[in-house]
Each structure stands twice: as C-alpha cells, then as structure tokens.
Structure 1
Amino acid sequence: MNTTKSIAVLPFVNMSNDIDNEFFCDGITEEIINALTKIKELKVIARTSSFAFKGKDIDVRIIGEQLGVNTILEGSIKKSQERLRITAQLIDVSDGIHYWSKKFDRKLIDIFDLEDEISLAIADEVRNNFGHFDVQKQLITQPTSNIDAYQLFLKGRSLQLKWTPESINQAISYYNQAIALDKNYAKAYYANLQCYGLLAMWGYMPYEEAMDLAISNLLVAKEIDTSLPEYPLSYVGKFFWEEWDFKNAYLHIHKVLKINPNHIDGLEAMTELFIALGFFDEALMYANKLLEVDPLSANNYYTLAHIYYYQRQFDVALDNVDYALTLNPELELAHHLKCFCLIWLNKKQQFEEFIAGTLLIEEKELLFRLINEKDAKVPEEIIIKWANNGSKETLLVPYDVFILSNSSYTELAFSRLHDMIQQRRGQVINYRQEPFLQPLHKIHSFTELHCSNLSLSDVKSPKEDKEKLASSILDDAQIAIIKEELLTYFDEEKPFLNPQLSLKLVADVLELNTNKISYVVNKAFHLNFNDFVNSYRLKHFKNIALDPKNSHLTILGLAYDSGFNSKSVFNTYFKKIEGITPRAWMKANSC
C-alpha cells in the first residue's frame, strides 16, 4: 500500500433529476481535483485516472490499490433551482472506513466559496490522518461573477474533454456563450485558445484561421489574468511545437509548474521537451511523476515507452506501449510505436499479426525488411508515389523518411528530413533520437539541421522548493516552545474531550496558524494530528473504564465520554495501539 499523503477524488454522483446536471457534477469534481493539486506535498490523482471509475461499482480498497493512494473522496451533488446540496466523505483505503463526512447546503451563487471550503476541509482531514503538509489559506478563487457563465463553461469543458473535432467545436460555442455573459472570464478565453490550437494542429480547421482565433483569445485573456497556469502554458505550444525554441518553451513550462507543480499539461510538456533534446534521465523523472498522478492514462504509458524506445531498450518500450494499448486501443501513435518495437526486435510473426488490417501495410512491411533483411531494397514505384504525393499527404509518422534512411536513398531521406525540420513538423521533432534516422548521422550537415538553444546546464532541479516551506516554518527552539504549549493545553484544558476538536480550534487557542501546529505535532511527536488527539482520548478511556463507578456504562458510552465520535474510529485506533479489541482489553484488566 502506498503510504504517501495521497488522494483520489472520484466523480461526484449526480443526484438531481436532470441528467444534464451530469456535466455540472463532473465539473465540480475537476475543480476540486485542480484545487488540491496546488498543495505541493499532497499526491492528487489526475482527472483521467479518477474518472476511469465513473459509474463502476468497485470496492474503494481496490481503487486505492490501482491508483496508489491511501484516501478516496466520494460524494454526491443535488442541484435544485438555485440551491446545491453536496455530500462528501473520505475513506481510508487500508480498511475501507469512512473517517470523515460532511453535508454542505448552499445557494448556487456561493459555489466558488463552497468549492474552496470543501477543498480546504478535505486537505485538512487528509493531513490530520496522514501527516503534515502545508495548506494555503485559499485554494479556489472566483473565476467569474456570473453563475450562468460558469455553468456554460463547465458544459464546454465536459465537451472539450471528449477530444473529438465535433466536441471541440461545441465546446467553443459554450465558451463563447460564457464570454458573452462575462467579458472578463479569463478561463473561458484560455479554453478557447486551447481548442483552436488543437483544431489547428489536428488539421480540422485552416491553420492560419485557427491560429488567428487562438491569438485573439490570448490577447484578451492576458489582459484579464496572467496568474493562471493557462497563461504561460499558452506560449508553450508556440515556442515548442511551432518554433522549436526549446529554451523559451522550457522557461514557460517552468512557470506553469511553479504556479502548480502537479499541472498535468505542464508535466507532459516538460517530459516531451526533454525527450526531444535527449535528456532521458530528466524525461524519465517527469514521466514517472505523470504516471504517479495519472496512472491510468494511455498517453502517459506511450510517452514512457518512447523514452525507452529512444534509448534502444525495445523490450521495455514494448511492454509499456502494450499497456498503453490495453488502456486505449484507439491510440494511433501507440500502434505505430509498437510496430517499430517489433521491427527492431525482429519479431516477424507477431509483427505480421499486429499490422494485419491496418493502414500503411506496404510501408510497414518494407521498413521491417530493410531493418532485418540484408538484401531488401526500396521499389522505385514507391519513390514515384511519394514524389507524386509531395506535400499533399501528411503522415502521422514519417514512414517515407524512415524507409529512405535505411536504403540507398539516404540523400533523398536527408533532403526530406531537412524540409520537414525547416517547416517545424511535429512528426520529426525527436529526429535526434530516432533509431530509424541513425544512418543519416553520418551526413556531415546532420548536426546543422537544427541547433537547440537549451542545454542541460540551463535545466533547474524540480526538487528545488520541495522542502523549503516545511524546513523554514520553525527552528528547533520554536518547536520546543510550541510543543510545551501543546502539552500544557492538552493536560490542563483537556480539549480532546470535545468530539468536534479540530486543528483550527487548537491553532486558534494557541494563536498560531494550522500549518505550524501540524508541523510541530509531526516533528515533535512523530504523529499525525488525529493520532495525537486520539492518544489522549485512549488514555482517558482507559482511566475511566477501570473506575468502578463507571461499571454501569457501556464500552461505546465510555469511548464517547473520552472524545471519540465514531465507533469504527475508536475500535480501529484501540486495536492499532493495544493489539486487541476494547472488549478483550476490558476483560483482561477487570478485577
């Protein structure tokens, strides 16, 4: 079981009569996920992996094991006219016990305050149970003053995440409706920017037209809010994919991750940047981080497979790309990568079975022969076919360049590669590492095809601020002082008898913030806050349980009198500390 401070937020269940509220529930879930990712030391599973369990009746302990977390949040939302009722509960996946639950009943207009309140409550409870991490005072800020615009945005977001040309265009329509209601809705402009960028890259809209619309949205958005991670991220596509300006791409990805260290798009972009440059140790570090927070993403396993593929570890690459295809059999790039692994591993039978019924079979079979058979040659007719097609046909993967590079036509291959690099074609951005292009390295001007402006010495460590906050909160002397204050307060005032005692209540009494109290409890007592409080409650229980004047009270009644507010929490904690059940302990210690 993963022991890190970690959580997966499962999709909130729609309890409303209106099925259209499904997008609203999904949107609230994603907002809370995004809010929690701002907490640096809390591992939060990304939307893709959490939503893989939507509508499935699976034991939370199994879900926790698959996602590598120790806490699951599940809940429901009922939206009725202008009111919201949200129920949320936290579950410890080690035993399936609900250790926190709460109902929130608010006006719809208070949705942003409610999202922030829920996110902060979740963070506090995870910290109380699993150990210290800093929590900001606010995790969600109000993106718009218009609730109708917000609901239109969530509808657009639900459509965008289907990632089809039709759904992307529908999403744009909803984002535009949101903007019509609130001209200052920065996130809607940034969302439009991403949608137009995707339509341009995929070729589903004339490139110039799509980019003009993307830029016009960016120009408005940046005048409204540049504090969002979407702002630096909006420049990444331009610098990385459009211009191959790796240094500026790196600087902007770094800005994204400085705002939110767990930003999925930022982590993915950094991984891809390092792959393009051949910085494989760094790429692997970010790829593993991606898989840590998004373990059921086919794209992440495809990315990881690519790192091993470029390092010529074809067996390892094949294992990872196979898993990517089990997660998403429709991931076309993964099909091509598996094909390449099978070629390099000379697995002819498996290769032929795998490509049967696919497109580009002639090219795939020819590439296999060129790599694995000494006398293989490129037929002249295929050269003529490519020459006639010219730039009319854009292949997702440049089979023509790969084939020509491993034949007697290396000069033609080099010429085609040169043209693609001049056009900054994404299909060859990793040309430096591509095994099929190895023969072209012998050509003198290969190193001059493109000069990267980013070196490894320019790259900062991703761990640079990891322990900065915790280590700078308090020194040893301050820890000792607060430790004594805590002990005095608990011994004299017995606040643990209050079943509603919280970290905030203790912090308010000692006139300190919750981060400092949490830090001291962890540092000085080597306990999380709940275990610290329950240790006092257990001690009190044992004292009053052995007092003859309390013999008429039940064990559970004594537990409640000691400050425990849950039978399951009391029994679980008692057995963890004493090694036996409360009843067995009572029997063993009774006169």
Structure 2
Amino acid sequence: MLNNLSIAVLPFRNMSSNIENDYFCDGLTEEIINALAKIDGLKVTSRTSSFFFKNKDVPVTKIGKDLNVSTIIEGSVRLSNNTIRITAQLIEVQNDFHFWSETWDRKLENIFAVQDDISLLIADRIRENFGHFDIKDKLVNKQTDYIEAYQLYLKGNYHFQKWNPEDLELSKNYYTKALEIDSEHAQSNYGLAQYYAMMAGLGFLPKDETYKEASKYVNKALKLNPQLPEAHYGLASISYWYEWDFKKTVQHLNKALEVNPNFAPAYMHFAFHYCSLKKFEQALEHIEIAIGLDPLSAEVYFAKGYIHYIMEDYEASIKALDICLELNPINLLAIIIKACCWLCQDKIQLVIAYFNSELPATIDTATKYGMLGIAHTILKDTEKQEYYVDLLNTEIETSKAERAQFFMFLILIHSGKKEQAFNWLSGIIDSKPTLMLTLFGDPLLNSVKHDPLYKKITDKVFSSTFAVKEKTAKKKALLTKEQKNEYAKKLISCMERKSSFLNPDLTLKSLAAQLDIHPNQLSWLINHEFDKNFSEFINHYRVETFKRISKDPKNAHITLIGLAYESGFNSKTVFNTFFKKETGMTPLQYLKHSS
C-alpha cells in the first residue's frame, strides 16, 4: 500500500563542466536524504535504492512504483570555483505533476545552510500537500568550518560506495586528508571507522587489530556528534558481531532509530536479532520495514532470504536470495545460503555442479572447498570428503581461517563426529568468531540442536538477549482539547473573515504566524480536526470562492484562469487538479453545468 508521506531523493545531476564534481552532487543528495530521514512520520527511501537510478533514463512514474513512494525530488548542481547553483523540484508521482521548484545561488562556504534550506523547504511542501508530520526548526547542522575538509570527506564517501579494494584505499586517503585539516570532523572519523570495518569484514586486513581501529574512530565520531545514526549503527555492529554483547547492540540500534527513524540497516539488524531468538514474526516484520525503506538493496533481500532459511522455508529463502543476486550477482553470503538451501532440499548435485563451475571472484577457495566438503560428506563419499578436509586445513593457516573453520565444524557434525566438533567449538567460543553467530540456528545443525552439550554452548552465547527490549516512542497530541477548539475557531475566522487564502503565496508557516501558533501544531490541527492536509484545506476555500465569483455577471469579462487567480490560485495546473478533486468536474464542465 502506498504511503502518501513518502519520498525518494534521486541523485542530483552534475551540470558543471568538470565531470569530477560528481562526488559533490552525490554528497549533496546524500545529505538531503539524511536530513529528511530524521523526520519521524515521513518515509524516506535509503541511498542505495535512490542511487540505483543514477544516470538512468527511467520515467518518474516507474521510479515511484519501484520505490513505492508518492513523491520524487530531482535536481541539479552547478559548481564553479567558489559559487554553487542548486535547483530542485518536487514531483507528485501518480500524475507526474511538478508542484514545486526552487533555485539557490550561494557561496560554497554556505553549503550547510543551503542544505538546511533545501531540506526544510522540501519537508514543508510535502507536509502541506500530503499530510502532517512534525518538522524540527533545523535539519542540517554545520559539520566543519573547513570547506576543504568537507570536500575531501565527500570524495572519500564517493569512493567508499564503490566497495572494491582499490576505491576503499582511496576513500581512506581522502578521509585521512580531511582529518589532517580538521581532526574534529565527526563524519570523517566515522568514514575511517567504516573503512576499517569493511576491510576486516571482507578479509583484506587482520580482524582483531582492524576492528580495534574501527572502534576507536567510531567512538571518537560519536563523542564529537552523538546524533550520527551511522555511528550508533557502527557500534551496534561491533557489539554484535565482534563482542557478542547483545544488550549493547540493541541499545545502539534504538539510538540510531531515535536519531533517524528511516535508518534501514537498523531495522535489518533488528531482524537478524529476532531471528537469532527464533522470534520469526518480529524478524519478518522488521525486514519488511527495511525493504520498504530500501527496496532495491541487495543486503536487505539477503537478510530476508537468511531469515526464511533459518525458518526452514527454503523456497521463500531462494526467492529472496535470487532477488539479492539479481541486484548483486557476486554477493558471497547469498550464494552460500542458497547452496545451503539446496543441501537441505537434498539437491546435493546442484551444489557440487555449481562449485565445480567457473565461480565469481568473490567466492574464495575456503568457501569452495567447504561447500564441496559438506556436499560430499552428506553423500557419504569418504574419499572426496577427506580430500576437501585436507584442503580446508591448509586454508585454516590463511586469512580465511574463520570461514574454513566454519565449514569444518559442519563437516564434523555431518560425518558423525559430534564430540570432536563440540570440543572444537568449546575451544574457540571465547574468541567470539563472527561467523559462528550465523551458524547456531542453521538447519544443517538440526541433528544436534537438542544435544545437551550443544544447547549449553548456545545458551551461554545468547543468555543476555532475552532481557533486551526494543524501544518504542508514543506520540502525544500537540494541543490540548481547549487549545484545539480555540485555534480551530481562529483558523476558521482567518479563512472566512480575513480571507487569508486569497494570498497566492500563503504557506503553512505564514498562516501559523498569523495565528501565533507553531507550524507543527497548525499542521496537526488541520490534519486531526478537519481531516485534510494544508493544501486541501486552503484550496477548498479557493474553489468555493471561484464557484461564487464565476456566477457573478460583473466578472463575465474575466477569463477562467483569471478567476482562478482572483480566488487565490497561482497555478493553472494546481487549480484544475484541486477543482476536479473537489467537484468531480473540470472548471469548464462546472460552469456549463451551472448555467
């Protein structure tokens, strides 16, 4: 079901003569996404899905349908020396209706102020046209006094998003240079933290010392700016995967969502958490929220596929994993879990055929030997099992040791060597190997899940999770009953006696100033007391005025659009749209019918 209070910010086009300014356009887009995402009640599509359409010629209606949003914002940036021109326009998806546009010409050093202006204006226009949500007085704060440091940070982000070793190293260099200019720039500190976490996760750097570096930089970023949702999420990831501290994990996830209610990775992480507790209904509920916010993200579909795999719904798992692999054909974990589904479905030959074929570069030898070793173990092919076990033992001496041990444990279980497997697991459990958290609920371990020794080990790992509760906030009414009645009367008086709606430039903020009320309260009042959004409320009076003055013989010489302007409308398209919405007829049909 389409949420009217939903928006996707498409990548702003680079109108500069220098193509290298793409990094700045991407950075501006991301800052606007982050600013709007802080608004509770407004659904904002995540960066991954919005950027899927970069440099693609796709109709707005198709984009809106794919992202399941009611509104699209698109724009452009022209950067020249120390000046910047930004244009932005809002498009109502269903009718491909451009209902607002604006242009800003500013100095580059004022970039944070213009980001705030753009974000606030976009939020105001969406609220006026689609319904109520609260907006803070400021959405974007100044990150640094050094514009060069900010530009270097944006370049770091630009390369980080490419997710390959060469660009990751470039991102590190840019973040480091930014910190040389401003060591207190929170976002650049977080940039280095995400670099180290990514390099450790991909196995390009030693895990222990690299995670320590990631932890150092993410904690510094959070100390400098406690309102960085990414930093809270970074600490949640470290707490979960590296420290196995599930209570701290949920605390950080709650904080990330408190700062940014649209932060899809936090919902995805909650889904993993509930899955580990076998609370599958909550897990699927959270993963669907994540998909709603980031519908073209390979990672969220992997998470959905993984949850269905743990639930032993293998067809649903493969369906989600296939979507993941369509979006990212080299997603290693999706390939592994899909193969595990085949194993559980007794489609062993599919696994053997796949891992003996030409494989994507992301599939390392530890994964290949491990999957083939498990497959031949299940088939009771002792000779080939021993062959792959020998190969896995050589992998244990490399940087892929953890993944090799992960597969070795499964082979021991399926070859009936439970005692040896449990002894090994007991010996390494205190080192908190990352991949083991994904293994404990694995259907490939169904034969030992009720074994007292195995249960003792898993209970020790997950003992702290059951006391953890997800934080939910209750929304309060913005006006008391007495205030609501008082301001409703003032509002009606403003319309019927002062005819404020005749001002074509009337906005929610300017009307709120007339009533001496906060715009958030006025928006709430119109929505709850009159069951309309601001535009519907104001344009109702304008339509009624048009109907009245169009019947007056004194106005016979005035054109149709002239009468619309006299009624307070400032756009022919808006007039026609709202008139038909109110009356079910076009203005011309109405006049003919009336006469």
| TM-score in terms of structure 1 length | 0.93
CA contact (8 A) 1:421 1:429 kept: no
Counterpart in the other structure of 2:198: 198
Q: 2:469 aligns with which of 433, 454, 459?
A: 459
Instruction: Give CA deviations for 1:528-552 in whole Å, capped at 9, x if unaligned.
Output: 0001000010001111111111111
Counterpart in the other structure of 1:314: 314
CA contact (8 A) 1:246 1:453 kept: no
| Deviation of 1:218 (Å) | 4.4
The 3 A distance-change label for structure 1 pair 541 and 396 is: farther
The 3 A distance-change label for structure 1 pair 183 and 376 is: closer
* CA distance in structure 2 between the partners assigned to 1:497 and 1:61 by the alignment: 32
* CA distance in structure 2 between the partners assigned to 1:215 and 1:69 by the alignment: 36
Counterpart in the other structure of 1:176: 176
Q: Does 1:32 align with 2:37?
A: no
The 3 A distance-change label for structure 1 pair 268 and 122 is: same
The one-letter code sitting in structure 2 at the alignment partner of 1:431 is L
Instruction: Indicate the SS of the match to 1:544.
Output: helix
Instruction: Indicate the SS of the match to 2:102.
Output: strand
Q: Does 1:564 align with 2:569?
A: yes
| Deviation of 1:54 (Å) | 0.7
Instruction: Give CA deviations for 1:545-570 in whole Å, capped at 9, x if unaligned.
Output: 11111111111111111111111111
Instruction: Indicate the SS of the match to 1:183.
Output: coil
Counterpart in the other structure of 1:401: 409
| Deviation of 1:376 (Å) | 5.4
Q: Does 1:236 align with 2:243?
A: no
| Deviation of 1:99 (Å) | 0.9
Counterpart in the other structure of 2:503: 498
Counterpart in the other structure of 2:528: 523
- For residues 141-290 of structure 1, the aligned pairs below 5 Å read 141-218=141-218, 220-290=220-290
Give unpaired runs (5+ residues) of structure 2: none
Instruction: Give CA deviations for 1:7-53 in whole Å, capped at 9, x if unaligned.
Output: 00000011111111111000000000000110110000000000001
* CA distance in structure 1 between the partners assigned to 2:545 and 2:132 by the alignment: 25
Counterpart in the other structure of 1:357: 358
* CA distance in structure 2 between the partners assigned to 1:350 and 1:538 by the alignment: 66
Q: 2:490 aligns with which of 469, 485, 489?
A: 485
Tell which deviates more after alignment, 313-322 or 244-253. 244-253
Instruction: Indicate the SS of the match to 2:77.
Output: strand
Identity of aligned residues (%): 37
Counterpart in the other structure of 1:424: 432
| Deviation of 1:421 (Å) | 2.9
- For residues 6-45 of structure 1, the aligned pairs below 5 Å read 6-45=6-45
| Deviation of 1:245 (Å) | 1.4
The 3 A distance-change label for structure 1 pair 583 and 354 is: farther
Calculate the aligned-residue CA RMSD, in Å.
2.2
CA contact (8 A) 1:78 1:84 kept: yes
* CA distance in structure 2 between the partners assigned to 1:562 and 1:219 by the alignment: 57
Instruction: Give CA deviations for 1:53-83 in whole Å, capped at 9, x if unaligned.
Output: 1111111111111101000001111112211
Q: Does 1:446 align with 2:454?
A: yes
The 3 A distance-change label for structure 1 pair 583 and 329 is: same
| TM-score in terms of structure 2 length | 0.93
Counterpart in the other structure of 2:339: 339
CA contact (8 A) 2:396 2:402 kept: no
Counterpart in the other structure of 1:586: 591
The 3 A distance-change label for structure 1 pair 389 and 69 is: closer
CA contact (8 A) 1:315 1:345 kept: no
Instruction: Indicate the SS of the match to 1:40.
Output: coil
Tell which deviates more after alignment, 33-42 or 389-398. 389-398
The 3 A distance-change label for structure 1 pair 57 and 162 is: same
* CA distance in structure 2 between the partners assigned to 1:369 and 1:385 by the alignment: 14
* CA distance in structure 1 between the partners assigned to 2:483 and 2:517 by the alignment: 12
* CA distance in structure 1 between the partners assigned to 2:224 and 2:369 by the alignment: 52
| Deviation of 1:349 (Å) | 6.6
The 3 A distance-change label for structure 1 pair 350 and 571 is: farther
Counterpart in the other structure of 2:418: 410
The 3 A distance-change label for structure 1 pair 179 and 287 is: same
CA contact (8 A) 1:414 1:440 kept: no
The 3 A distance-change label for structure 1 pair 432 and 327 is: same
Q: 2:374 aligns with which of 367, 378, 382?
A: 367
* CA distance in structure 2 between the partners assigned to 1:441 and 1:3 by the alignment: 42
The one-letter code sitting in structure 1 at the alignment partner of 2:257 is L
Instruction: Indicate the SS of the match to 1:122.
Output: helix
CA contact (8 A) 1:370 1:376 kept: yes
* CA distance in structure 2 between the partners assigned to 1:354 and 1:582 by the alignment: 65
The 3 A distance-change label for structure 1 pair 251 and 558 is: same
Instruction: Indicate the SS of the match to 2:401.
Output: coil
- For residues 533-552 of structure 1, the aligned pairs below 5 Å read 533-552=538-557
Tell which deviates more after alignment, 252-261 or 331-340. 252-261
Give unpaired runs (5+ residues) of structure 1: none
Instruction: Indicate the SS of the match to 1:105.
Output: strand
CA contact (8 A) 2:83 2:106 kept: yes
| Deviation of 1:489 (Å) | 0.6
Instruction: Indicate the SS of the match to 1:493.
Output: coil
The 3 A distance-change label for structure 1 pair 219 and 457 is: closer
The one-letter code sitting in structure 2 at the alignment partner of 1:161 is Q
* CA distance in structure 2 between the partners assigned to 1:214 and 1:335 by the alignment: 27
Counterpart in the other structure of 2:47: 47
The 3 A distance-change label for structure 1 pair 583 and 174 is: same
| Deviation of 1:112 (Å) | 0.7
The one-letter code sitting in structure 1 at the alignment partner of 2:358 is G
The 3 A distance-change label for structure 1 pair 302 and 423 is: same
| Deviation of 1:202 (Å) | 2.4
The 3 A distance-change label for structure 1 pair 158 and 499 is: same
Counterpart in the other structure of 1:88: 88
| Deviation of 1:168 (Å) | 1.7
The 3 A distance-change label for structure 1 pair 293 and 447 is: same
CA contact (8 A) 2:218 2:235 kept: no
Instruction: Give CA deviations for 1:102-156 in whole Å, capped at 9, x if unaligned.
Output: 1111111111111111111111111111111111111111110111111111111
Instruction: Give CA deviations for 1:455-477 in whole Å, capped at 9, x if unaligned.
Output: 444213x5x21x41xx3311333
* CA distance in structure 1 between the partners assigned to 2:38 and 2:220 by the alignment: 25
The 3 A distance-change label for structure 1 pair 47 and 528 is: same
The 3 A distance-change label for structure 1 pair 234 and 366 is: closer
CA contact (8 A) 1:247 1:453 kept: no
CA contact (8 A) 1:277 1:430 kept: no
How many residue pairs are counted as aligned between the two chains? 583
* CA distance in structure 1 between the partners assigned to 2:173 and 2:394 by the alignment: 40
Tell which deviates more after alignment, 270-279 or 577-586. 270-279
